[in-house]
Each structure stands twice: as C-alpha cells, then as structure tokens.
C-alpha cells in the first residue's frame, strides 16, 4: 500500500496554469500600486470603479473567450455594442418601453450572432472576413441612425441608470470625517452574472466542453462525435448575444450614445482574453482568467495615468507591451511544460 506522500499530484492543466499566472500578476500589480502610488488605490472604491467602468468590456470579453477557445475570432463585437447603444437610446427617447429596449438590445446581438455563425459554420467562410464585414455593417448602421450624440432622457431608464448598490463596510472615511460607502452599478452585477454563467457553461455543460475539443483538434472532435459545425455556430451566437447585453450595460453606464461608442472595444476584449490565458490557436482558456485579464489591462492603464503619463499614446504603448509580454510568457510556459512531458 502506497503512502500518501508517494502519491503524485496531477499537474495543473494549461488553462488553470495560465489563469493562475494572470491572477497572481494582477494581485502583485495592484498591491504595488497601493504601496508606491497610493492615492485612490488605497480605497476599495478604486476597485469598484474598475468594475463600473469596464462591466461592458468584461461581458464582451466573455463572448470572445468562448469564440477563441473554439479556435475562432470575432472582431465585430465593439461595433455591435455601439449599434445596440445607439438603437436603444433613440428608441427610449422616442417614448419606448424600458423592457422592450432590453429585448431590442438582445435581438440585435442575437441577429449578428446568428448571421456570423451561419456564414462561418455552415458556409465555411473565414471568421475574420465575416466578422470584419459585420463590424463595418454595424458601424455604418450606427452612423445612419444618428451622426450626433444622443443623450438618454427616458425617465424609467434614468432611474435604472442612477440605481447603485451600496456596500457600507467596504467604504472609506473622507477628509471631512463622513463615511462614504462603496458603490457598484447594476451593470457590474450583470457582468459578474455573465462570467459565472459562462464559467458553468464551459466547465459543466457538454457544448462548453465541445468548444475546447473543437479548438484543440477539430479532427479529434469529429471522431469523438462532436457536431463541429453546430458547436461553432453556437459559439458565435453566444458572442453576439453577449455583445447585445454589453451594449445595454454600456448605455446604463454612460447614459448616451454616439457613432464612436465602444471604438476599439474588440481589440481590448481580445487583449483581455489573451492576458487571461486564452490562446489564439484555441483549446485553452478560462473565463475567470479573462475576468482578471480585463482587470489587469485596465489597472495598468490606471497606473500609467496615476504616474503622470496622461498622453493617450502611453496607454497604447503599455497595452501593446503587456500583450507581447503575456504572449511570450504563454509561449515559454507551454513550451517548457511540453518538454517536461516528453522527458517524464
């Protein structure tokens, strides 16, 4: 009978390893910001502000993670988000129903997901080309709806937008001695719910595990009896649906729409997924890692601004450098693990 010390522990999977690295880097980065930059980083509200400002990005990144795990790409998510924002704000300002506006957002996202999924999965057109066309179409439709910025004036929507969740025990004491509770927007609750649901989908539901199999090796997936076309189709439908939800959350945060809403969001979502440990080649990724990848990406931008580098190009340079670092880190870690497997 073997002693417990002799039992070999199973190594972390590539997905869990990369996710763990991302979480550790985020925690270290935020801790260093608290020590050396202090300022807002010492208050819990700074972390909640990260979530408030980036709830829509978290939701879109969840959709990108699903698609990328399956070996695909969707660069239309930012444009679809923008179209949803403009469509909903115009509808609401014309006296529309609040509940119907939510259905409108979901319908627009779902429509793009269905079209993209059909063209990519069943007509076998390259994902980049299809979603690029979708991006141009969505941006064009947004401009047709209105070139001028549109501010929401719907009374019911404004009440929804102003609603905040207060957490007194995570607040802080102001200079005048008043206790200011931490405030979290409704959109953050929606974003966290999406993260949890996508996590459950990927880990416990058959179609979610099919995304990993399809992204890892399509031929093996077919041999395992997985309907690859249907699985890929579902991944793009989910991405489109999450883009619709993201658009409404974006509108709840900003309260306005314009033709440049969510510009570059698709690139930030891809970057967040990669930083979180999702491989562009597919088969590896975790939505929890993507969540922390989004926080890591936005935290480094906050750090750059807090350091006095207010020019926008510094944020772009820092984002590019971080992305290169994580891609290199992924390559080194996975290559070393592959060598260890061969030697054992």
The whole-number pLDDT of residue 8 equals 44
For the purposes of burial, counting CB atoms within 10 Å of the CB of 34, is it exposed (0-12), middle (13-18) or buried (19 or more)? middle
Phi and psi, residue 316, nearest 5°: -65, -45
C-beta separation of 247 from 78 below 8 A: no
C-beta separation of 56 from 246 below 8 A: yes
How far is residue 6 from each of residues 1, 2, 3, measured CA to CA in Å? 10, 6, 5
d(CA 326, CA 18): 10
**Vertex 186 angle, CA 183 and 189, to 5°:** 95
Nearest partner of 188 among 294, 309, 274, 289, judged by Cα? 294
Nearest partner of 70 among 191, 207, 199, 241, judged by Cα? 207
C-beta separation of 59 from 246 below 8 A: yes
Q: What CATH class is the domain 13-29+44-337?
A: mainly alpha
Structure tokens at 110: 């779902």
d(CA 68, CA 163): 34
The residues near 108 (Cβ < 8 Å, ≥ 6 apart) are 80, 83, 84, 87, 244, 247
Structure tokens at 127: 């994902």
C-beta separation of 112 from 130 below 8 A: no
d(CA 96, CA 92): 4
What residues form DSSP beta bridges with 330?
none
Which three-class secondary structure string do you get for 186-245?
A: HHHHHHHHHHHHHHHHHHHCHHHHHHHHHHHCHHHHHHCCCCHHHHHHHHHHHHHHHHHH
The whole-number pLDDT of residue 180 equals 73
Instruction: Please report which helix (H) or strand (E) contains residue 314, including its range.
Output: helix 312-343
The DSSP line for 113-165 is: HHHHHHHHHTS---HHHHHHHHHHHHHHHHHHH-SS-EE---HHHHHHHH-EE
d(CA 240, CA 58): 14
The residues near 263 (Cβ < 8 Å, ≥ 6 apart) are 78, 82
Average pLDDT per consecutive 10 residues, the chain (344 residues; last block may be shorter): 44 78 91 80 84 96 96 96 96 95 98 98 96 96 93 94 84 67 92 97 94 88 89 97 97 91 90 91 91 92 79 80 83 76 68
Look at phi and psi of residue 7 and say left if phi exceeds 0, alpha if psi is from -120 to 50, else beta. beta
The whole-number pLDDT of residue 37 equals 77
């Amino acid at each position: 009978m073997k002693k417990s010390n002799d039992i070999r522990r199973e190594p972390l999977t590539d997905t869990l390893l990369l996710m763990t690295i991302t979480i550790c880097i985020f925690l270290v980065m935020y801790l260093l910001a608290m020590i050396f930059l202090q300022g807002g980083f010492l208050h819990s509200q700074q972390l909640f502000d990260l979530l408030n400002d980036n709830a829509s990005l978290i939701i879109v990144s969840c959709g990108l993670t699903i698609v990328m795990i399956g070996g695909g790409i969707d660069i239309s998510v930012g444009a679809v988000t923008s179209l949803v924002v403009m469509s909903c704000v115009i509808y609401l300002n014309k006296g529309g129903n609040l509940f119907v506006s939510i259905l409108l957002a979901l319908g627009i996202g779902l429509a793009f997901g269905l079209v993209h999924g059909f063209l990519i999965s069943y007509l076998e057109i390259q994902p980049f080309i299809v979603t690029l066309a979708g991006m141009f179409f969505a941006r064009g439709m947004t401009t047709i709806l209105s070139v001028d910025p549109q501010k929401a004036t719907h009374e019911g929507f404004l009440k929804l937008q102003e609603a905040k969740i207060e957490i007194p025990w995570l607040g802080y004491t102001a200079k005048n001695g008043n206790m200011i509770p931490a405030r979290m927007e409704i959109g953050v609750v929606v974003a966290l719910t999406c993260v949890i649901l996508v996590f459950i989908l990927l880990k416990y539901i058959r179609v979610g595990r099919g995304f990993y199999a399809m992204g890892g090796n399509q031929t093996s997936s077919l041999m395992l009896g997985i309907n690859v076309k249907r699985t890929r189709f579902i991944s793009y439908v989910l991405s489109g649906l999450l883009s619709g939800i993201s658009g409404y959350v974006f509108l709840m945060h900003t309260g306005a729409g314009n033709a440049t809403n969510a510009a570059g969001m698709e690139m930030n979502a891809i970057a967040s997924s990669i930083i979180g440990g999702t491989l562009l080649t597919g088969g590896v990724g975790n939505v929890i890692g993507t969540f922390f990848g989004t926080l890591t990406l936005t935290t480094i931008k906050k750090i750059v601004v807090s350091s006095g580098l207010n020019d926008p190009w510094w944020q772009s340079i820092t984002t590019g450098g971080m992305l290169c670092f994580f891609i290199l880190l992924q390559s080194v870690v996975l290559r070393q693990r592959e060598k260890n497997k061969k030697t054992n």
